[in-house]
Structure 1
């Protein structure tokens, strides 16, 4: 039995993994796949890939590209969710800020440097025409840290996935000022190089199982009600999210896509220079 550790955010995007793990589909192929939640998001998972505490991670595209470029010994093996992620731009319920222009010199809560909440704050600032060098950040580790920072005034705004934070908007903890979609597919699957070298066929089997699951995920009977209940979402919000979300289901990631994303990240000042796009990916499908 091959032991593999996999991690991702505890959000609705990753429910297909929960189904395959619950059904013990990996065990049937002599793979003991163990899931670990990473509420701190992509920055936390990049660190885990680097120190070997996770083998496979479902990470934000921009975060892992930046970290592989900075020496993370991992490769992207495929896109997981091919549609953009919608980042909500949130302030505290009692905040004086009313519109996005008000946030120009405000302090931004981020889970950690290199995380999606950090990189997308830069993308949003670029979109607004603000000086990226003037941005001020407060590291808050996770969503709960963001709630605390906005409530007690340690930070002014916080960017996190629109639908995950929607219950906090509904209950009056946050007020959403605007949305900022990623200008690229949002989630990819990254694997440590050592695991790819030693367990290539096992990783390929894992991908085939999850791709079979995501291919027909939206057709599961009452999947909207299941997700709404599990993630404490309004049914209409989950239905909207399902309409705008598409999984990749097995197409290999291309060097061309990585090049296009790197070009945008340079324009946004997220990375300083491009690397050869082949250095970021491992083709699992020959």
Structure 2
């Protein structure tokens, strides 16, 4: 039995993995796949990949590209979710800020430097013609719970996080959503430690073929909207909206998408260079 550890955020995007585990699909192929939740998101997963706590991560495209260029310790195997991530721009419910431009020069809560909540503040600033050097400030809060505390206490002024995950906080009067900032690229990819790729190609092929079969038919699963609503404590109408705009992928990330994503990250000084696509990906 081959042991493999995989990490991802504890959100509805990753339900296909949990369904595959619950059905014993990996065990059937002699793979003992262990899932670890990472409430801290991409930054925490990058650290876990580097220190070998996990072998695989379901991780944000922008964050892992930055990490690969900086550390060269990981490779992208394929796209996991093809569609953009809808980042909600949140303030505390009693905040005096009601428009996105009210947040100019204010402090953004971020889970970690290099995380999606950090990098997407740059995209939001660019979208609103802010000065990247002068109009952004950050407060590290580690995770969503930290963001709730930070915004409520006034340690930070706004927070970007996937809008359907945070919708219950908006409904319950903890956060107020004042806008959205979709990622300009496919949101999630499957990344793996380079060392692990080299030693376990057949195992990885089996893992990918298993999850790809699940995601291909995921939206056709009977009552999947009700299952997600109950499991993740989301309003059924919100789940139905999310499913209508979300598409999974079963293929390698497109080279043009990789290049265009890097160009945007480079223009914002998030990455120091534009890497050759072969530096970023591994073809099994």
TM-score (norm 1): 0.98
1:88 partnered with 2:88: yes
1:67 partnered with 2:67: yes
**5 Å matches for 1:169-208?**
169-208=170-209
TM-superposed deviation, 1:72 = 4.1
Instruction: Please list the CA deviations of residues 108-146 of structure 1 after superposition, one character each: whole Å capped at 9, or x if unmatched.
Output: 000000000000011101111111112110000000000
1:5 partnered with 2:5: yes
TM-superposed deviation, 1:15 = 0.1
C-alpha distance in 2 between matches for 1:259 and 1:77: 16
Q: Which residue of 2 aligns with 1:79?
A: 79
Instruction: Please list the CA deviations of residues 146-187 of structure 1 after superposition, one character each: whole Å capped at 9, or x if unmatched.
Output: 000000000000000000000000000000010000000000
Q: Report if the CA contact (8 A) 1:85-1:161 is conserved.
A: yes
The unaligned stretches of length 5 or more in structure 1 are none
C-alpha distance in 2 between matches for 1:122 and 1:156: 15
Q: Which residue of 2 aligns with 1:150?
A: 151
TM-score (norm 2): 0.98
Q: Which residue of 2 aligns with 1:50?
A: 50
Runs of 4+ aligned structure 1 residues displaced above 4 Å come to none
Measured on the aligned residues, the alpha-carbon RMSD in Å equals 0.8
Instruction: Please list the CA deviations of residues 85-124 of structure 1 after superposition, one character each: whole Å capped at 9, or x if unmatched.
Output: 0000000001010111100010000000000000001110
TM-superposed deviation, 1:45 = 0.2
The unaligned stretches of length 5 or more in structure 2 are none
Q: Report if the CA contact (8 A) 1:256-1:277 is conserved.
A: no
Q: Which residue of 2 aligns with 1:220?
A: 221
